[in-house]
Chain A
Amino acid sequence: MTNQTNVKLRLNNSELWGGLIGLALGGFVIWQGLKLKLGTINDPGSGYVLFYTGILMCVFATSIIVSAITEGGPTLASRWENVRWSKPLLVIACLTAFSFALEPLGFLLSSIPLMLLLLRLIDPVRWTLAIPIAVLVPTGMWWVLKRLLLIQLPSGLFGIG
């Protein structure tokens, strides 16, 4: 009984945190709806649908929170149990770095390292295969887009690409 109560009341409950995020988002949407003016029911304003959608979000989020408190839920760590959690994390880090590098470095200088990192980090592809793929695929795509389809990809500060 004691154990069960502990499970229900613990803060390390992913369902609870999901619900709380939903509630916060709902509150934010309600506030934005009010800021944009609701108008009247005869002539609904720009914030009308936002406001009521925000209310619905709060209702559904509250329902998730209530069920998380009464029925319990898996911990955050358990969602990543028995999986290679570091792999998606590495891919996310690569994509974040790429998004910062894309404009200043341009498409070619940012996508070649991105490809090389992804090829080596997900399930390491041997260097002799990874390097040609990482160089040839983005360069080939760049050539097709720029020369054949006349689409200008970002060339960055160095004007490469």
Chain B
Amino acid sequence: MDTLANVAHGFGVALTGINLLYCFIGVFIGTLVGVLPGIGPISAMSLLLPVTLSGTPESGIIMMAGIYYGSMYGGSTTSILVNIPGEAASVVTCIDGHQMAKQGRAGPALGISAFGSFIAGTFALVALMLVAPRLASIAIAFGPAEYFSLMVLGLVVLTFLTQGSMPKALLMACIGVVLGLIGLDSITAQPRLTFGRMELIDGIGLVPVVMGLFGVAEVLLNTEQAIKRDIINAKITQLLPNKEDWQASAGPVTRGTLLGFLLGILPGGGAVVASFASYALEKRLSKTPERFGHGAIEGVAGPESANNAAAGGAFIPLMTLGIPPNVVMALLLGAFVIHGLQPGPLLITQNPGLFWGIVASMYIGNVMLLILNLPMIGMWVQLLKLPYNILFPLIILFTILGVYCSSNNVFDVYVMIAFGIIGYFMRKLGYEPAPLVLAFVLGPMLENNLRKSLILSQGDLWTFVQRPISAACLALALVLLIAPLLPSLRKKRELVALDEGA
């Protein structure tokens, strides 16, 4: 009953004119960046992070969330029609989606992808409504030791799932922690790694770091090769899947939704892992696995449902524990912090309008996305023809303006350019930026909780293993750290490894 009252309150917040507008802008931009290869949700969210300053916290966060789940919808369009994933979570959709398009079945592929995404997104929201408040009430009992161990687990899971060698990902995570510690020590107020520069006293901003590593570096990487596009030019008709398509897709959509939601909740997991895992599951369960790769609708329905369910599930650790499970959620945490809010167990009770408003807006956003992605598919196809030699300079200009507007400080523009160049060389040498960014956000919290737990336990390191949740997180992290040493597990890791930058 309480939940229903809260949901009604949430819809009251989400249905105000300004929040509807922000929600629409968010899902529209999300679909746009999902459709355009080269820029993903991370770049778009970092670009628009300063914009959230101008409105209320609800509006800003509703827009940012819209970009994230909107990009999951839009990404499939490019995968199916152009065979280039619009963003990393749609890589798998290329395999069977583009084959379907080549066979003249682009309509049903786009249709099942949109309907599957809608069903999964709706399920994830209902589950979020039911799970989040209960988890938040449990999380109130969490102490610094539990928080520290959970963050360690989150970082280890992300490094485990990052493409390339694990030591490289762990090195990136360590560098992220160090960068996050620049500025005044929160306990002793001693300046750290500031080198006498006043601009560094408050630390390095999240916006310039993320825009540099994901925005500028992405443009630099994309300029290396002329992007060729094999757009399906035939008119797209019959977007509604037929009875056989629905029968074949019902199982994959259900399984993809459940799997995606569970993987989304896990720290370090997310939409990319969920889509790969769903594809592997469907192929394994299929009686005719040989059809996969040649236009099997199950290969589109499962992964597309899974990535949307995961996008919804990923909000749970952020909203209830205050711990972002992936880079996108780290950016959303940045949006909360900009408005002086701290997501965590108390958010739901102290700011019910904000929490339930965001949840309700996600449902409204899902309906908007269904409308944006089916009847208006022709518009997105036209957009795929936008020349990149004009788009890339514009992205660079917008990142410069975005960074400057977030702080009114030219120094941040220098920081962004520096991180853009560093990010480019990092990617060229096989170092992924995702663990660095997550560690950058978690670093100060990680340090704070470690030092607090050591002070509270009077230096007793056993405190981390005597508390069951903390011990379980650390044990799991240890298993994941050791796993790549075993050849069979290393192979499995390589199969699910993700490229966050895409």
B447 in contact with A49 (CB, 8 Å): yes
Question: Does chain B have a CB within 8 A of A32?
Answer: yes
User: Which secondary structure dominates where chain B touches chain A?
Assistant: helix
Given contacts A36-B192, A42-B455, A49-B450, contact A61 B171 (CB under 8 A): yes
Q: Is there contact, CB below 8 Å, between A137 and B171?
A: no
Interface membership of chain A positions 47-59, coded 1 if the CB is closer than 8 angstroms to chain B and 0 otherwise: 1111001101100
Complex contacts, B454 vs chain A, CB 8 Å? 41-44
Given A32-B192, A122-B389, do A92 and B451 touch, yes or no (CB 8 Å)?
Answer: no
A6 within 8 A of B: no
Hey, which chain B residues are within 8 Å of A103, CB to CB?
410
| Given A53-B174, A88-B424, 18 new contacts (CB under 8 A) | A44-B450, A46-B188, A47-B192, A50-B181, A50-B192, A56-B174, A60-B168, A60-B171, A88-B220, A88-B221, A95-B417, A122-B392, A123-B226, A123-B389, A133-B390, A141-B397, A153-B401, A153-B404
Question: Which A13-60 residues have a C-beta within 8 angstroms of B?
Answer: 14-15, 17-18, 22, 25-26, 29, 32, 36, 40-50, 53-54, 56-57, 60
**Given A43-B455, A46-B190, A115-B393; A18-B431 close (CB under 8 Å):** yes
* Chain A contacts for B392, CB-based, 8 A: 118, 122
Within 8 A of B (CB), among A113-151: 114-115, 118-119, 122-125, 129, 133, 137-138, 141, 145, 149, 151
Top 3 A-B pairs, shortest CB-CB distance: A118-B393, A123-B389, A41-B459
Return A91 CB to nearest CB of chain B, in Å.
Answer: 6
Interface of A is mostly: helix
- Residue B247 lies at the interface, judged by CB distance under 8 Å to chain A: no
A residues neighboring B (CB under 8 Å): 14-15, 17-18, 22, 25-26, 29, 32, 36, 40-50, 53-54, 56-57, 60-61, 63-64, 67, 79-80, 83-85, 87-88, 91-92, 95-96, 98-99, 102-103, 107, 111, 114-115, 118-119, 122-125, 129, 133, 137-138, 141, 145, 149, 151-154
Specify which chain B residues have a CB less than 8 angstroms from the CB of A43 in the assembled complex: 454-455
Total A-B residue pairs with C-beta atoms closer than 8 Å?
155
B178 touches A123 (CB 8 A): no
Q: Across the interface, name the chain A residue whose C-beta is closest to B54.
A: A149
Selected from A47, A83, A138, A151, the residue in CB contact (under 8 A) with B225 is: A83
Contact B421 A92 (CB under 8 A): yes
Given contacts A32-B192, A60-B171, contact A91 B219 (CB under 8 A): yes
Can you list, as one digit per residue, whether each of B446-464 has a CB less than 8 Å from chain A (1) or not (0)? Answer: 1100110011001101000
Partner of A154, one of B219, B397, B410, B428: B410
Whether a CB of chain A sits under 8 angstroms from the CB of B408 is yes
Chain B residues whose CB sits within 8 angstroms of the CB of A25 once the complex forms: 175
Question: Chain B: interface residue count, which band?
Answer: 35 or more
Chain B contacts for A47, CB-based, 8 A: 192
Give the distance to chain A from B421, nearest Cβ to Cβ, in Å: 6
Cα–Cα distance between A41 and B451 once the two chains are bound (Å): 9
Quick one: CB contact mask for B388-401 with A, threshold 8 Å, 1 for yes? 11101110110011
Taking CB atoms, residues of chain B closer than 8 Å to A114 are 396-397
Report the bound CA distance from A84 to B421 in whole Å: 16
**A-side contacts of B187, CB under 8 Å:** 46
B429: Cβ under 8 A from any A Cβ = yes
Taking the nearest CB of chain A, how far is it from the CB of B411, in angstroms?
Answer: 10
Does residue B216 face the partner (Cβ distance < 8 Å to A)? Answer: yes
What's the Cα separation between A47 and B193 when bound, in Å?
Answer: 10
> Across the interface, which residues of B come within 8 angstroms of A61, CB to CB?
167, 171
- A17 — which chain B residues lie within 8 A by C-beta? 429
Bound state CA distance, A38 and B54, in angstroms? 42
Nearest opposing residue in chain A for B394, CB measure: A137
Query: For the complex, what is the distance from the CA of A96 to the CA of B413, rounded to whole Å?
Result: 11
